[in-house]
């Protein structure tokens, strides 16, 4: 294990999250990373529960390979109404956390890429702008 693979605490890493997971789940995780990377620069933070993707201001998305696919969360400025979203909860007065459970590579599509792009904007602080000003 190198310094790049560790986090404070229990030494969780991206590779540790991928260990022992089905090839499909690993491929889905890697595709998710590609969709995040298409938005711009980001940082990764790992914990036992997830791999979190961070923008210049804050974390905006997370993913964790599972035995049957990929568990994902996205922080958005609106509550999505979609059958793809398992759960939506207010996180702050301006943010909603969305949980999705993906089971196929086909679900990592243009619609999800759009939601990731919205979340990426949150990572850059879009939720802090006062849109009420003229």
pLDDT digits (tens, 9 = 90+) for 72-106: 999 999 999 999 999 999 988 889 999 999 999 99
Angle subtended at Cα 50 by Cα 11 and Cα 22, rounded to the nearest 5 degrees: 95
What φ, ψ does residue 11 adopt, rounded to 5°? 55, 45
Tokens matching residue 57: 């201001």
* pLDDT tens per residue across all 134 residues of the chain: 333 433 344 588 888 888 999 999 999 999 999 999 999 999 999 988 899 999 999 999 999 999 999 999 999 999 999 999 999 999 888 899 999 999 999 999 999 999 999 999 999 998 887 554 43
Using an 8 Å Cβ cutoff, are 58 and 125 in contact?
yes
> Could you tell me which residues are beta bridge partners of residue 65?
70
With respect to CATH, is domain 3-127 assigned 3.90.1150?
A: yes
Q: For the beta carbon of residue 126, count every other beta carbon within 10 angstroms.
A: 19
Using an 8 Å Cβ cutoff, are 66 and 21 in contact?
yes
- What is the distance between the alpha carbons of residues 130 and 100, in angstroms, rounded to a whole number? 29
- 53: part of which helix (H) or strand (E)? strand 51-54
- What is the distance between the alpha carbons of residues 124 and 122, in angstroms, rounded to a whole number? 5
């Amino acid at each position: 294990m190198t310094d790049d693979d560790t986090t404070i605490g229990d030494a969780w890493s991206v590779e540790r999250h991928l260990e022992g997971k089905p090839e499909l789940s690993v491929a889905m995780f890697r595709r998710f990373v590609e969709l995040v990377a298409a938005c711009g620069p980001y940082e990764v933070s790992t914990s036992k529960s997830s791999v979190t993707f961070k923008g210049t201001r804050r974390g905006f998305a997370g993913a964790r390979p599972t035995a049957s696919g990929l568990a994902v969360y996205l922080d958005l400025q609106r509550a999505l109404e979609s059958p793809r979203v398992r759960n939506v909860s207010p996180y702050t007065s301006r943010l909603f956390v969305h949980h999705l459970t993906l089971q196929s590579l086909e679900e990592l599509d243009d619609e999800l890429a759009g939601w990731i792009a919205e979340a990426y904007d949150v990572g850059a602080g879009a939720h802090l702008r006062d849109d009420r000003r003229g």
